[in-house]
Amino acid sequence: MRTIRVIDSHTAGEPTRLVMEGGPDLGDGPLEVRARRFRERFDEYRSAIVNEPRGSDPLVGALLLKPNREDCQFGVIFFNNVGYLGMCGHGTIGLIASLAHAGQCRPGAHRIDTPVGPVDTRLRADGQVEVDNVTSHRLARQVAVTVPGFGEVRGDVAWGGNWFFLIDQHGLHIDPDQVEVLTDFTWRVRQALNSQGHPQVDHVELFAPSANAQADGRNFVLCPGKAYDRSPCGTGTSAKLACLAADDQLAEGETWIQESLIGSSFAARYRWVNRERGEVAPTITGSAHVTAEALLLLDPADPFCWGF
Ligand code: PYC
């Protein structure tokens, strides 16, 4: 029987399952090459680790690897119920918290190798984790898309380590009791976008003011496999920062508190990388809690051994 050793955590309510041992052997090379190998040759491991019956739709997997870049301490590939992520903000916070729990990292700076570039993290003495995410930018402003059943919807297309469509004007309430309505709307937006010239967008993000005076706004983020992000989404918040910076709505270094659908939050700020090109370096701060240490058992006699 195969076994996979994992540490589970949640970051602002969003779960991460870190694979410490027993994952697929992806060999050496750049993380983007190893991510391709994972997808092409070992995808059944992704399904076995995060899908039912061992996992659930919102669960993000993180395969811990040796880095390729010499200046990195760890390498990681993130994956979910339907595929692979370029970067994952909540997952990186979960990764550092889990490695600290396992005694593999101490407070201080840790550089992580990912398929979309190196990411600097700092584990603070208070347990908070700061993530300097990959350079983020807005590709297109107020793109119009025709959504069957809803009409014309406008939003920004932006990169924050994954591709997002960010919508401010939607007329919906971002409330936990509206999850089905929000999921239906954002799923239709995504389908329309993908067939109307934006095939790369796989996350849709809605914004509304927050009732919490400490927060600058609340979001709802639909992930590629139709689960919504319980956290404020680190890469989605990075995409938001790129849009705020481009619109002169948030100054370099100023803090933006992004609240999630469930009321958890990340603190975010940026510095300009290239103002003319609208490129920003976002920093996302949040915390994660370890929820389990486990050995996944892959029994060949189990008809659902590789997940469904
Ligand atoms: O925090 O970047 C994030 C993220 C992406 C998908 C789920 N969480």
- The per-residue pLDDT for range 111-162, each reduced to its tens digit, is 999 999 999 999 999 999 999 999 999 999 999 999 999 999 999 999 999 9
Strand duo 84-85 + 288-298: pairing: unpaired
Q: Which of 172, 173, 290, 179 is nearest to 226 (CA)?
A: 179
Report the amino acid identity of residue 44: E
pLDDT of 220? 98
pLDDT of 4? 98
Q: From CA 130, how far away is CA 108, in angstroms rounded?
A: 10
pLDDT of 304? 98
pLDDT of 212? 96
pLDDT of 234? 98
pLDDT of 206? 98
Assessment of whether the complete model's pTM goes beyond 0.75: yes
pLDDT of 5? 98
- Atom 8 in ligand 1: residue holding the nearest Cα: 233
CA of 13 from ligand 1 middle (Å) equals: 12
pLDDT of 150? 92
> pLDDT averaged over consecutive 10-residue blocks of the chain (308 residues)?
98 98 98 98 98 98 98 98 97 98 97 97 98 98 96 98 98 97 98 96 98 97 98 98 98 98 98 98 98 98 98
Contacts of residue 94, defined as CB under 8 A and 6 or more positions apart, other chains included, come to 9, 10, 11, 15, 16, 18, 60, 62, 288
Q: Please, are residues 133 and 159 in contact by the beta-carbon 8 Å criterion?
A: no
Half-sphere exposure for 2 (CA within 13 Å, toward CB)? 15
CA of 302 from ligand 1 middle (Å) equals: 31
Residues with CB under 6 A from ligand 1: 14, 60, 85, 88-90, 162, 223, 229, 231, 233-235
Ligand 1 atom showing the smallest separation from residue 87 Cα: 2
Handedness of CA 104, 39, 282, 57 (dihedral sign): negative
Catalytic residues: 88, 233
pLDDT of 288? 98
CA of 267 from ligand 1 middle (Å) equals: 15
CA of 299 from ligand 1 middle (Å) equals: 30
Rg, Å, the chain Cα set: 19
Ligand 1 atom showing the smallest separation from residue 237 Cα: 2
Strand partners, 258: 217, 266
Ligand 1 atom showing the smallest separation from residue 284 Cα: 1
Q: Which of 94, 161, 88 is nearest to 123 (CA)?
A: 94
pLDDT of 282? 98
pLDDT of 286? 98
